Amino acid sequence: MEVVRLTLPDTANKPTVCETTAYREIQDTLDLCRRLGQIGVITGPTGCGKTTACKAFAKVRHNNARYLRVTIAANSSQPFLHRLCDVIGGYPQPNAGKCELYELALRNLYDGDLVIIDEGNHLTSEVIQILRDLHDEARSRNSRRIGIVFVGTPEMTELWNKRRNGKGSDAFAAFRARIGQTAELKGVGEADIDALCVHFGLKGKRERDVIAKVAKAWDGLHNVDQLMANARLLAGSVSAISSDHLFQAASVMGSR
């Protein structure tokens, strides 16, 4: 039986996140928006590593980067602003209104801050305009350069690329004019497969083929993480994962 040895994240002196092509591009875009105080847009298919890279940037690289995931339950202005204030440390009151929350957010955004808005597909048009106003007012009123990055699938850009106020009008022209950085990510490529194999310590061609099939067939990197988690469960308490564990895990997930 061929044994594929993995270095587990909690015992390794190596990054716990695999630095794929998309990961590096996302990190560069976020850093530019943070340093320049710009609005950025990052789009890519599900499973290309957007959320993982954004969380890593906010948690590991920069303390002044704030990560906020939009949910359908909190995608309109009042609940979104409440969540934003909570994320940036504004301590909002439960019954605060939109205007109060807006001012609270403005007071608690400081020069060099970066707000990462993940799952931006769920945002309403009003929230997008509110975020543009926050970006503009922070600079004009307090001389603060605030970076705001919208992250989502390619369909997200339809929110501000449509003319919504009748024929001939363009309600989002001012917003688009403020977009300073964009990153359009692709799906998982061959270089990413190689990076994943190195990250997980997989050296055999058969193992690489399994990783490639799982990564490209369904939900991208989400399924690779699930594959490795299943393989670890199958391995039990042993310190190594065999190729058989890997293939059994792939079979359980529906990949033959």
Whether residue 179 contacts residue 41, with contact meaning beta carbons closer than 8 Å, is answered with: yes
Q: What is the per-residue pLDDT for 167?
A: 57
Question: pLDDT for 73-86, tens place per residue?
Answer: 988 999 999 999 99
Which of 139, 155, 184 finishes a domain? 184
Q: Say yes or no: 31 and 145 in one domain.
A: yes
Of 144, 162, 184, the residue at which a domain comes to its end is 184
Query: Are 32 and 89 in the same domain?
Result: yes
- For residues 128 and 210, membership in a common domain is answered with no
33 shares a domain with 148:
yes
Answer yes or no: do 197 and 174 share one domain: no
CATH code of the domain covering residue 176: 3.40.50.300
Q: Are residues 55 and 104 in the same domain?
A: yes
CA-nearest of 151, 143, 114, 148 to 130 is 148
Quick: pLDDT tens for 173-223: 999 999 999 999 998 889 999 999 998 888 889 889 989 888 887 678 888
For the whole model, what pTM was predicted?
0.86
Answer yes or no: do 68 and 9 share one domain.
no
Residue 57 tokens read as 């940037």
- Domain final residue, candidates 184, 216, 241: 184
Where the chain has pLDDT below 50, the residues are 1-14, 256
pLDDT of residue 94: 87
Q: Are residues 124 and 247 in the same domain?
A: no
178 and 196 fall within a common domain: no
- For residue 163, report the phi and psi dihedrals to the nearest 5 degrees: -85, 120
Q: Could you tell me the residue range of the domain that residue 10 belongs to?
A: 3-14+188-252
Question: Is 56 found in the same domain as 172?
Answer: yes
90 Cβ neighbours under 8 A, 6+ residues apart: 84, 101, 104, 105, 107, 108
Closest C-alpha to 84, from 57, 113, 63: 113
| Domain co-membership, 48 together with 123 | yes
Residues 69, 101, single domain; the answer is yes
Q: How many domains is the chain built from?
A: 2
